[in-house]
Structure 1
């Protein structure tokens, strides 16, 4: 899985980069056909935002999360993507 991390009005530190990689690597447990992931970390005044788009088996899944803390926003983002991947995988199994 290829992960692209970029920052908008924020410097992406090595610690943030490693944290995002660790959180998103857990997604590959639910679905093995994740090809690429684009993550954008941004700051709007006091709100920290994390957005991600995952390309999985011909479909793009999008999620975003915002919080006062960047690491909390990344955790929420990971949880949302996890739920979307599980739902997507169940849909594929039900249709076959």
Structure 2
């Protein structure tokens, strides 16, 4: 997984980068086809915003959150992306029946 963390009006410290990395590792459980994750951390006055774009096979997933605390925003962002990945995985699953589908007489 290729993880990129950038900051907008904020210096991304190593502790923030490690925190985001640990949280995004959780997303690996649901899909092995994560090609890239781009996280943008933004500070606007008293609002802390975290947004991410994930490239998955077939599509891109996007989520963003705004909280007073940056670490809380990262937590909520990870939860949103987790739910989106689960939903995407269910969509990609084939629902065809296998075997004999003939109706017995």
TM-score over 0.5 (shorter chain): yes
User: Tell me, what secondary structure is at the counterpart of 1:12?
Assistant: coil
SS of alignment partner, residue 27 of structure 1: helix
- SS in structure 1 opposite 2:11? coil
**How far is the alpha carbon of 1:94 from its aligned partner?**
4.3
Partner of 1:87: 87
User: Following the alignment from structure 1 to structure 2, what is the Cα–Cα distance between the partners of residues 53 and 95?
Assistant: 28
Whole-Å Cα distance in 2 between the matches of residues 92 and 30 of structure 1?
12
Alignment of 1:10 onto 2:10: yes
Aligned pair in 2 of structure 1 residues 12, 91: CA closer, same or farther (>3 Å)? Answer: same
CA distance in 1, matches of 2:40, 2:6: 5
CA distance in 1, matches of 2:52, 2:45: 20
Larger radius of gyration: 2
Matches of 1:95 and 1:63, distance apart in 2: 27
- 1:27-71, CA deviations, whole angstroms, 9 ceiling, x for partnerless residues? 010111000000000001100000000000021000001100000
Given the two structures, how large is their TM-score scaled by the length of structure 2?
0.89
Q: Which runs of 5+ in 2 are unaligned?
A: 97-105
- CA RMSD of the aligned region, Å? 1.0
Query: When the two structures are superposed, what TM-score results if normalisation uses the length of structure 1?
Result: 0.97
Higher fraction of helix: 1
